[in-house]
Structure 1
Amino acid sequence: MTSPFSYTFPAIRGVQAGREYYVSMCPLRLLAKLFVFDNEELMPELRAQRSINRSRIPEIARYIVSNSGSYTFSAITASIDGKVSFDAVGEDDTNHYRMGTLQVDMDAKFIVNDGQHRRAAIQMAIEERPELGDETIAVVFFHDRGLERCQQMFADLNRHAIKPSPSLNILYNHRNAAASLTKHLGLTSPVFRNLIESERSSLSKRSRKLFTLSALHFAILEMLNEEELEDFSAAAKKCSEFWEAVGDQIPEWIYVREGRMTAGEVRQDFIHSHAIVLQALGRVGKSLYQTSSGSLDLRLALKKIRDIDWSRANAATWEGRAMIGGRMAKNSQNITLTCNEIKRSIGLALTPEEQAIESAFTAARQ
């Protein structure tokens, strides 16, 4: 038995792996009504895909609402469990029966194979901004061939999905104030100019770059709060002054700029160009500005950084702080412990939280 009623979608028909599929446009307000998520109460073996991570949905919804004039979404992929038919428009050689209308039995079930978080976030965004409901999103329809095929579709759709590197995300992000400031420093600061890797978040031994864009970005986030980032000119001036003062106290950074050492040699033998140290230095900068009264002589305050032994061979200092088992580490505790060592070297007091972590670290070493 089929329903005498049907959904009608204007669509383009295509062929993949010898079977038809259809591309159409769907108003956002209809997504929640048409497309359901596979029952999360079922065992994973009986579902067509993974469970929804509900913590992701509000973030995506905020992205839509905050950027209602410029948000971008890729197509949703769905399977149709029910009767379908395609009525082509015309029979000439230009469209080859590819354009027409897709008729879907109203008793059919639509299952989202890819895009379930987008669907849920769009529904949440429309509750706040109902006018978004008239906008559209592309939908790719496949005719359902059972649970096994749906599960295989999910695996295939995600098999070659590669998340862009953090550095590339920062490079292409024009909405975020910290990202804009990071790119500005990378282009204008004599400390970082021509030494920033903008696409990758890790550096090969032969790379001529000394820092990654993502490492500098996280260092800036450690140094400046959201209110400071809103004033781009003041934030840029503050960051430029601080990092130039830091750069003056680290000879190896200067040697790389002058061609007296290669970036690879510095990264191999020293820890000060790695992300954890940049973040720790950013946190030190924040502390310096917060604790200074009146004008701050950065070069005088940071002068003792030159006396720090940044060598990887200095395991007595850095093992357990910036390194674990001789390899660079980067969790929040390691950042704090590295920051603590820099603060101690230049005579800055630790906060109560930093002191608690330092005391636990010292006790564990004994």
Structure 2
Amino acid sequence: MLRSAPPTAPGMTVIRARGAGQVRHVASARRTAVLIGGSGAVLVVTAVLGLGLGSLRIDPATVIAALTAYDPTNDAHLVVVQSRLPRILLGLVVGAALGLAGTLMQSVTRNPLADPGILGVNAGAALFVVIAIAYFGVSSVGNYIWFAFAGAAAAAVLVYFLGTARGGAAAPVRIALAGTAVSIVIGALSQMVLLSNDAAFNAFRFWSIGSLQGRGFEVILTVLPFLAVGTLLGLALIGPLNAIALGDAVATGLGTRVAGARLGAALAVVLLSGAATAAAGPIGFIGLGAAHIARRFTGNEHRRLLPASLVLGATILVVADTLGRALVAPAELQTGVAAALFGGPLFVALVRSRRVAAL
């Protein structure tokens, strides 16, 4: 008489394993949906509040009237539409770009401390922009954005070279230290150039520490195509990044061109960081915070991780900028400083964490 297979039969084990995997997949998808939905809600609320906050407080009714029935002769309407609305929109696109750039850098280097600000990419872009303004007479974003791309790429190569100078794979902390050192040196050079050129100093003394103030719609329209290309390129690498997360050897065995994927990610980071820095100056820690918060909810599945980091980056930057205007009103805390107040403690906590070895 034949007996049914016991519960521990191989077939049953496989079925249970698949079921557990599906449960984890569904749970991760739900957490991602909650994260993106919650971040999006915070972003919308903060953006609406930000339209009324600042040295001139504007009531919600006037804000709504400015958006729905704009009157160019009304001073409050002018402030909302011509000053604060482009500021919030720029914060949204720049924050999203930095959030995605930070996640891409962490994924391709498997370094949990990677961030365009920490690894000197933003500082390199800023230095080249300052040089273009001070010595080449470049004054528009559409012209000096190319200098920003060159500076971002040069800084990334320099940090990688310093981090791997002893040969072998670069340890996350070593790369972070190299990036910090390069950022400090480049920042000092930028300040030296600004102090030696009065025109450049007067025009960009706030931009050099990261600011969304005084940027019009033309700045957004100038950088948006580059940010869009960088975003699409980064999202196109979801498959290769998932493979690289398993290790280079496994990724190669799965048919992934690891070197090509890293090159594509590097190009995306240069486009995203260079354009973001050209528009708003060097703002650090946004990518670091967005990537780590997103990874807590999504794991290393890049189909969810990358979109989540986009939304989180936008939310963090808009919230930081709005708080910088609200907490010290009628004065204003520059966006780069407000972001550092959020990201600095996070960076220290990550360095002290035992999980800093690698992703």
User: Which structure features the higher share of strand residues?
Assistant: 1
TM-score by length of 2: 0.23
User: Which structure features the higher share of helix residues?
Assistant: 2
TM-score by length of 1: 0.22
Q: Which has the higher contact order (CA 8 A, sep 6+)?
A: 2
